[in-house]
Structure 1
Amino acid sequence: MSDLEIRPATADDLRAIVDMLADDPLGARRESPDDLAPYRAAYERIVADPHQKLVVAVRDGRVVGTLQLTVIPGLSRRGASRGLVEAVRVHADERGAGLGARLIEWAIEEARRAGCALVQLTSDATRTDAHRFYERLGFVASHVGFKLAL
């Protein structure tokens, strides 16, 4: 993976990121790749927030992966911060080659540098392959998550 670069996402990367977000059964229902306006607005909010890191993995000038890391300061665990990993996506023709693991390793190291005591993530209950992937990387399914759509 020496030919891989993980770098901060730019506005020019949004099309590739959104296409990856929409490239699965869940994303196809909730993303709108034909209208980048809401993604541009979200991107501006993300880059303005020092607790957010939106990155892309680039190989041969092509965006092939992405994730977002949020550092959440907290009071629990003796005032510990935690890293929240979101929107991990790997381009379909790059899956199974270790890119997802490389992205998660990057997020763990970045969270460690930011002083986080732990890294957490959620994964839709239907994504059983993703669950096995995260467990292979040392994550433990320790909690039950709840969401309320607004």
Structure 2
Amino acid sequence: MQSEIRFRLATENDLDRIVAMLADDVLGSKRERYENPLPDSYIKAFQAITTDPNNELVVACNDNEVIGVQQITFTPYLTHQGGWRATIEGVRTAASVRGMGVGTELIKWGIKRAEKRGCHIVQLTTDKKRPDALRFYERLGFIPTHEGLKLKL
């Protein structure tokens, strides 16, 4: 990589690149719609995320190129004495930089951001069809302490 990775909040100008990264994946290619123009659902979701003070859509950049993305949601809980949690979701890196440490730096940045927001825990999920991702998160210190369940509506 030519320069140091920078992290910033995503702008609407980044949305096309973000959706392209989400779709450039075995599972993502089956559930995302990367089209030109993008479906309105992505624009509406982006606006909902960026106007919510407890959500941040963060991009990793090399020079001016967006090479990674993650969404961080900050949630207050009554459990853990009213503590806050950060949930990291939608983590993707561009195919051109996979295996170069961008994902590691992205997650480390997300953890530091959670600490700054006063969170007592960072949580995430990964699809069981992604064993490499599970190993990646475990190398970063995440422990599979819970069984996650989902109900598609």
Whole-angstrom distance in 1 between the partners of 2:109 and 2:32: 26
Q: Matches of residues 1-150 of structure 1 in structure 2 within 5 Å?
A: 3-34=4-35, 35-150=38-153
TM-score computed with the length of structure 2 as normaliser: 0.95
Amino acid of the residue matched to residue 13 of structure 1? D
Deviation per CA, 1:72-128, whole angstroms, max 9, x where unpaired? 100001111100000000001101111101000111001011110100000000100
Amino acid of the residue matched to residue 133 of structure 2? A
Amino acid of the residue matched to residue 73 of structure 1? P
Aligned-pair identity in percent equals 48
Amino acid of the residue matched to residue 78 of structure 1? Q
Whole-angstrom distance in 1 between the partners of 2:8 and 2:50: 13
CA contact (8 A) 1:68 1:85 kept: yes
User: Tell me, what secondary structure is at the counterpart of 1:25?
Assistant: coil
Whole-angstrom distance in 2 between the partners of 1:130 and 1:80: 27
User: Tell me, what secondary structure is at the counterpart of 2:41?
Assistant: helix
The CA RMSD measured in Å over matched residues stands at: 1.0
TM-score computed with the length of structure 1 as normaliser: 0.97
Whole-angstrom distance in 2 between the partners of 1:95 and 1:29: 20
Whole-angstrom distance in 2 between the partners of 1:95 and 1:36: 27
Whole-angstrom distance in 2 between the partners of 1:6 and 1:37: 26
Structure 1 runs (4+) greater than 2 angstroms displaced: none
Aligned pair count? Answer: 150
Unaligned runs of 5+ in 2: none
